[in-house]
């Protein structure tokens, strides 16, 4: 496993029992995945999932809840991924928008159709995230906190008050 997992986001969109997926090229294979991708430096999670969904599907994504945070290891490739998966709805489809490089098309598939393509799923996270969503996993979007400020630049008093809200920061005091 890599020491630092690659930080990614994914979108789960369900409409009438079908899920929005992308068919994309990964190496020399065509695979299915949720609209997903890396969080760019300085980018917030919500902004990243909205951007990735638009770039890969030409749909505007409106996140409504966090489904979960997933760690997937690829020991054979010495890589790991930490994925924040959001569910929500889409609007404003632009069929003329050019999709990201490597993306063949956006598709709507039922869970059964996704299971039938199990060998072509990009990762085990695809079906796991859908199943968690179908099981009702939902957390408020505001549980995701974007701290884009260097702790050294925050006043000690301000930092102490924030650490009461977030005990995990106490070790930095």
Indicate the number of domains in the chain. 2
CATH assignment of the domain containing 33: 3.90.79.10
Question: What domain range is 109 assigned to?
Answer: 6-139
Express each pLDDT in 107-140 by its tens digit.
999 999 999 999 999 888 899 999 999 999 999 9
124 plus 146 within the same structural domain? no
Instruction: Tell me how crowded residue 111 is: count the other CB atoms within 10 A of its CB.
Output: 16
Distance of alpha carbon 115 from the chain centroid: 20
Q: How far is CA 116 from CA 26, 119, 146, in A?
A: 19, 8, 37
pTM for the whole structure = 0.80
């Amino acid at each position: 496993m890599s020491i630092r997992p690659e930080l990614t986001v994914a979108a789960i969109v369900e409409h009438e029992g079908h899920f929005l997926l992308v068919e994309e090229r990964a190496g020399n294979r065509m695979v299915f995945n949720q609209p997903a991708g890396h969080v760019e430096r300085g980018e917030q999670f919500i902004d990243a999932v909205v951007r990735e969904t638009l770039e890969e599907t030409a749909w505007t994504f409106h996140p409504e809840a966090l489904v979960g945070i997933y760690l997937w290891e690829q020991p054979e490739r010495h890589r790991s991924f930490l994925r924040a998966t959001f569910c929500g709805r889409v609007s404003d489809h632009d069929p003329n928008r050019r999709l990201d490089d490597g993306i063949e098309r956006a598709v709507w598939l039922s869970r059964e159709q996704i299971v039938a393509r199990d060998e072509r799923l990009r990762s085990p996270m695809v079906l796991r995230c859908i199943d968690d969503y179908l099981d009702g996993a939902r957390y408020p979007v505001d549980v995701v906190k974007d701290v884009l400020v260097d702790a050294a630049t925050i006043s000690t008093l301000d930092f102490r008050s924030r650490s009461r809200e977030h005990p995990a920061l106490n070790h930095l005091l």
